[in-house]
Structure 1
Amino acid sequence: MSRPAGPAPLLRRILQRGACAALVSGLLLVRQGRRDACSGAAPLNAISHWLWPESALRQCGLSARYTLVGAIIHWGASCFWSAIYEGHRQAGAPPPRARPPSRRPPAPASEVPSHDLVNALALSAIAAWVDLVLVPPRLSPGFERHLSDASLCRVYLAFGIGLAWGGARGRRAHRLPPGTRQLHVES
């Protein structure tokens, strides 16, 4: 018996896209922090300025207080934008319907539909505008104080790519042969 569509698959897509976007952009934050700032940890530390306004922006080394908290906030913000992305997708998507099996082989799992990538990059541009222009400095990401403009562009570009990649990973999981993924049985 198939599972009805509901909040669980939507939440899973939000978390998967958010995690991929946070991972890709977070890795680039570290890389660009090594180039532009005192260390790779500085941009992640700066994100925790939401909790420690002055001290977080000055921290260069790895620490649980600043780096770990900054990474968690970054992941949460990525999931927030992922939820907006999925909400937009749901609003424009036709209702699901049963389709007869296709005679065409499925697309390669690594392929990201171009409209998904374009939409994810558009959302990352909106996120950059909101984060860097619209919100007051107290609610900004903080890493913009350690990175050059070029690095910021790269980070937000990576964020959009991560959103699209997270969606492609989710689609790949649904294309696996039946015996390779966990089955859910309702009783």
Structure 2
Amino acid sequence: MTQERFAGLGTAALVTGSVASALSFVGLAVAAEAEGKAPLRPINATSHWLNGDFAGLYGGADRRRTGVGYATNHAACLFWALPFMAWQRARPAGSAGALMRDGLAMAAIAAAVDYGATPKRFTPGWELVLSKAGMAGAYAALAVGFAAGASLDRRRLRR
């Protein structure tokens, strides 16, 4: 691994994490609506670490729940984007399908850590609002975000 390969890794993780954050937000809203719930409830639930488990009952938008929830989700996406982009820089996926596979693998690792190793207070809180299928859909959207962000990074590096 050369140092040049990892130059700009922080910027790549910032872009990839931001794309993943936006797509996971959309995935959460779509999953909530598919389950007959207000679209902001899952992101509001993410603020449960600060506002308690009742945060997910609120369906509107406000700074206290939606703002904190979105910022928390965004920070988590940036966190997971860093090892994902380091992985992609060290062993680039050879095709779009392989990149999506890698995005799914990273999202699965994030889900396993989020719900298997993280204390309940610091989980994403989506379980307070969504079914397991809805949560899986949100993690799938996160995976698409990782793959899309990494694809943007590849295009940038080719220039």
TM norm. shorter chain > 0.5 = yes
Aligned residue for 2:47, secondary structure, equals helix
- 2:124 aligns to what? 141
CA gap 1:54/1:155 in 2 versus in 1, 3 angstroms: closer
CA gap 1:50/1:112 in 2 versus in 1, 3 angstroms: farther
Which segment is superposed worse, 136-145 or 28-37?
28-37
Q: Tell whether the 8 Å contact from 1:36 to 1:146 is kept in structure 2 after alignment.
A: no
- 1:183 aligns to what? none
1:8 deviates by 6.1
Q: Tell whether the 8 Å contact from 2:17 to 2:146 is kept in structure 1 after alignment.
A: yes
- 1:103 aligns to what? none
CA gap 1:39/1:139 in 2 versus in 1, 3 angstroms: same
- Sequence identity of aligned pairs in percent? 31
Q: Distance in 1 between matches of 2:64 and 2:39?
A: 16
- 1:47 aligns to what? 46
Give the superposed CA RMSD: 2.4
Q: Tell whether the 8 Å contact from 1:37 to 1:147 is kept in structure 2 after alignment.
A: no
CA gap 1:133/1:93 in 2 versus in 1, 3 angstroms: closer
Q: Tell whether the 8 Å contact from 1:124 to 1:160 is kept in structure 2 after alignment.
A: yes
**Structure 1: any 5+ residue segments left out of the alignment?**
95-110, 177-187
CA gap 1:157/1:30 in 2 versus in 1, 3 angstroms: same
Aligned residue for 1:38, secondary structure, equals coil
- 1:36 aligns to what? 35
- 1:157 aligns to what? 140
Matched, 1:170 2:136: no
- How many pairs are equivalent? 156
1:164 maps to a residue whose letter is A
Q: Distance in 2 between matches of 1:51 and 1:37?
A: 26
Q: What aligned pairs does 1:1-187 form with structure 2 within 5 A after superposition? A: 5=4, 9-36=8-35, 38-90=37-89, 92-93=90-91, 113-175=96-158
**Structure 2: any 5+ residue segments left out of the alignment?**
none
